[in-house]
Amino acid sequence: MQFKKENILIVDDDIHILELLQRHLQSWNFHSFKAVSVKEAVQILRDTKIDLLITDLKMPEIDGTELIKFVSEHYPALPKLVITGYPSVQDSLAAIKSGVVDYLTKPFTKEELNNAIEKSLGSTNNSSNKPVSANAIDQKNGNAYGDIIGNSEKINEVIQIIERVKDNKATIFIKGESGTGKELVARAIHYQGKFSRAPFIAVNCGGIPENLLESELFGYTKGAFTGADKSRDGFFQAADGGTIFLDEIGNASKAVQTRLLRVLQEKEVVKVGAQKADKIEVRIIAATNSDLKEMIKKDTFREDLYYRLTVVEIEVAPLRERKEDIPLLVDKFLFKYGIEYKDRFIKISPEVSEILQRYDWPGNIRELENVIQRAVIMCDRHIDVENLPDSLKYNIDFPEGELLPLKEIEKRYIQKVLNATDNNKTKAADILGIDRKTIRQKLSD
């Protein structure tokens, strides 16, 4: 029998079973990937396009049923085949049957495996592991955009531009607040385009001292300055043929801006202390959270460089403007840190979901990730309100400039907690650290 070369992921903590399955799959012309744990399996799912999952159920740390549930939720088009040596797991199979195409009981014959694989792959017309939405959690499988997570209109607009520019070397300018994921966009442009095998060099212009940035970017010759005991290439030479990402370009000095303009105009680099220019072929992606137009007015940023950098502009919206993406981001961080710190899948309470959705996230995705990471560390098996930082628990929105008596602020906050707990006074009292009677008293005052 001849198959197309589908990718099949096999998960079992028994290495002998894995090797047996792999030999069978290779004889049928499949590509196979092996994992001895759920944690390892999910990492492969994140990084590889998989066409069929074959998994055992009984495994240490995280059970195989959890993997099935995770895949069913996030990759519903991915067919799943269960193998098990425990007849007693039939109840478990019944519970997850809706997400499993077929199952085999050990020991099984090669022909039985053959038939089960044919059935599983045929059940979905060889659908691959696409996430729930075009850009949902763990997108390295279902689409081309890695960690750019979201299905909001603003994220889809970003992805549409990436599609247009990823296969050419037009200069690209990414603007957005700190923590919105500008570097993720730059990486997606590079790694999902036809130049992905060439170098990608990321440089934080704000993280390198001003007196060193010029030589770090463009290189220097021996004797160019004190301590330059030999010639050295810079980041631009290292990125030759590929992409250089200049983050926080607004921090570049006028001298650096002048050299950068020459790279864009002449496609050549002159090392510090050199007379001769070196030809270079590199795509430049720049980013900043600064207002470069305002800097131009103040004569701290070159206007001609600005127009050279902004051939294509991409604006990454702050999280407060795409709150519909928060649940997908939360899912990703829950999984990431749940596996890392707890070796299990971590859930959040509806009250926490409500708080996360209402908060404005001035630190954007970076702040959200930090909050989830901390909450996972502080929780047991699921995240509740007490695991959140005070900045979220006690966040109350008031009209700008409104000054209120302390009693009124207290009353509004109590009402906010009640709303978040669906008017469950017992839960609200636990969160507030007071009893139900005190809640009634303070609201009636």
Residue 179 DSSP one-character state: T
Residue tagged 């899912």 (tokens):
331
> How much is the pLDDT for 253?
92
The pTM score is 0.66
Whole-angstrom distance, CA of residue 420 vs CA of residue 412 = 12
> How much is the pLDDT for 263?
93
> How much is the pLDDT for 260?
94
Whole-angstrom distance, CA of residue 172 vs CA of residue 316 = 13
Q: Quick one: fold of 142-315?
A: Rossmann fold (3.40.50)
Q: Where in the chain is the domain with CATH 3.40.50.2300?
A: 7-123
Displacement of CA 233 from its chain's centroid (Å): 32
Q: Where in the chain is the domain with CATH 1.10.8.60?
A: 321-444
Q: Are 8 and 50 in contact (CB under 8 A)?
A: yes
Whole-angstrom distance, CA of residue 175 vs CA of residue 314 = 6
Whole-angstrom distance, CA of residue 435 vs CA of residue 439 = 7
Buried b (16+ CB within 10 A) or exposed e, 323-350: eebbbbbbbbbbbbbbbeebeebbebbe
Domain 7-123 indexed as CATH 3.20.20.70: no
> How much is the pLDDT for 430?
77
H-type alpha helices, 28-96: 38-47, 64-74, 90-96
Counting every residue written for the chain, the total comes to 445
Give 296-356 as a DSSP string. Answer: HHTTSS-HHHHHHHTSEEEE---GGG-GGGHHHHHHHHHHHHIIIIISS--EE-HHHHHHH
> How much is the pLDDT for 158?
94
Mean pLDDT in order along the chain per 10 residues (445 residues): 70 89 90 88 82 86 80 82 70 56 80 88 55 36 59 92 93 94 93 88 90 88 80 90 94 92 92 86 94 94 96 96 93 85 84 90 92 93 87 68 74 78 79 82 81
Query: For the chain, how far is it from start to end, CA to CA, in angstroms?
Result: 79
Whole-angstrom distance, CA of residue 36 vs CA of residue 160 = 38
Beta-carbon neighbour count of residue 444 at 10 Å?
A: 7
Residue 148 DSSP one-character state: -
> How much is the pLDDT for 347?
87
Whole-angstrom distance, CA of residue 16 vs CA of residue 336 = 29
> How much is the pLDDT for 415?
81
Residue 244 DSSP one-character state: E
Q: Are 23 and 16 in contact (CB under 8 A)?
A: no
**Residue 107 preceded by cis peptide, ω within 30:** yes
Displacement of CA 394 from its chain's centroid (Å): 28
CA distances from 32 to 24, 41, 48, 139 (A): 10, 12, 11, 20
CA angle 68, 110, 30 (to 5 degrees): 65
Residue 202 DSSP one-character state: E
Residue tagged 């997400």 (tokens):
99
In CATH terms, 321-444 corresponds, of 1.10.8.60, 1.20.1250.20, 2.40.50.100, 3.30.420.40, to 1.10.8.60
Q: Where in the chain is the domain with CATH 3.40.50.300?
A: 142-315
